[in-house]
């Protein structure tokens, strides 16, 4: 199994690169952001609860996202592996994910971290906001908050995966194809 944590700040290009990885390696894409947005548009209780955090650019509580990932993993019977996109975002989420995967004997293979300068992130999110209609991409103060939350709560995950030899930093500046090439090179080493 190839289990990849696709890591990086909001706007780093995780979703875009995940599409390429699914095709190239036949992996299953698990994006907590996408899962939460589909709960929101279905108007479920979970979706409504999540919306109040997402609209402010805050993290949705750990127990909600961990529960969501657990039930998704339970429904998949056979897989070549998973791409976790936007998850884990806290150390508690990473520990919970390890526990879920270790129970199946299929640990994380590597954390691929897309590294992008802050101004470039803001530019990308503002332009995505013009077409996506996502409330959290429309407002620069919310975008700033998401980047701050990332720096405070999510970035420390690098120190969680590094001692396990699973952290791989990848330059996330450049064309989509260039970045895909860099990801492929790293996956070649961990596969």
Binding mask 75-114 for ligand ADP (x = CB under 6 A): -----------xx-x---x---------------------
Whether cis (ω within 30° of 0) applies to the bond prior to 88 is yes
53 lies in the site for ligand ADP, by CB under 6 A: yes
Q: In the annotation, is 37 catalytic?
A: no
Q: In the annotation, is 162 catalytic?
A: no
Q: In the annotation, is 128 catalytic?
A: yes
Which parts of 4-43 interact with ligand ADP (CB under 6 A)?
10-11, 32-33, 36
For 94, counting Cβ atoms within 10 Å of its Cβ (0-12 exposed, 13-18 middle, 19+ buried), the class is buried
Cβ–Cβ < 8 Å for 30, 190: no
65 lies in the site for ligand ADP, by CB under 6 A: yes
Rounded to whole angstroms, the Cα distance separating 22 from 80 reads 10
Residue 172: closest CA among 16, 2, 3? 16
Catalytic hit among 56, 134, 166, 182: 134
In the complex, minimum distance from the CB of residue 84 to ligand ADP, in angstroms, rounded to a whole number: 9
Q: What SS3 state is found at 5?
A: strand
Residue 59: closest CA among 143, 135, 128, 150? 150
60 lies in the site for ligand ADP, by CB under 6 A: yes
| H/E stretch holding 4 | strand 4-7
54 lies in the site for ligand ADP, by CB under 6 A: yes
In the complex, minimum distance from the CB of residue 29 to ligand ADP, in angstroms, rounded to a whole number: 12
Cβ–Cβ < 8 Å for 47, 150: no
129 lies in the site for ligand ADP, by CB under 6 A: no
Q: In the annotation, is 124 catalytic?
A: no
The residue ranges that bind ligand ADP (CB under 6 A) are 10-11, 32-33, 36, 53-54, 57-60, 65, 86-87, 89, 93, 136, 146
Catalytic residue annotation: 14, 89, 128, 134, 146
């Amino acid at each position: 199994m190839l289990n990849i944590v696709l890591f990086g700040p909001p706007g780093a290009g995780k979703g875009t690169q995940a599409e390429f990885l699914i095709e190239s390696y036949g992996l299953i894409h698990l994006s907590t952001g996408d899962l939460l947005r589909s709960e929101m548009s279905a108007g479920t209780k979970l979706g409504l609860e999540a919306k109040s955090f997402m609209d402010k650019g805050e993290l949705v509580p750990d127990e909600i996202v961990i529960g969501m990932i657990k039930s998704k993993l339970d429904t998949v019977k056979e897989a070549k592996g998973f791409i976790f996109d936007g998850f884990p975002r806290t150390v508690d989420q990473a520990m919970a994910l390890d526990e879920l995967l270790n129970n199946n004997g299929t640990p994380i293979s590597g954390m691929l971290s897309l590294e992008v300068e802050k101004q470039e992130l803001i530019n990308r999110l503002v332009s995505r906001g013009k077409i996506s209609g996502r409330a959290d991409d429309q407002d620069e103060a919310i975008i700033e908050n998401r980047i701050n939350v990332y720096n405070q709560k999510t970035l420390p995950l690098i120190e969680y995966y590094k001692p396990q030899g699973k952290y791989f930093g990848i330059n996330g500046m450049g064309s989509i194809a260039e970045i895909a090439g860099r990801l492929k090179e790293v996956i070649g080493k961990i596969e």
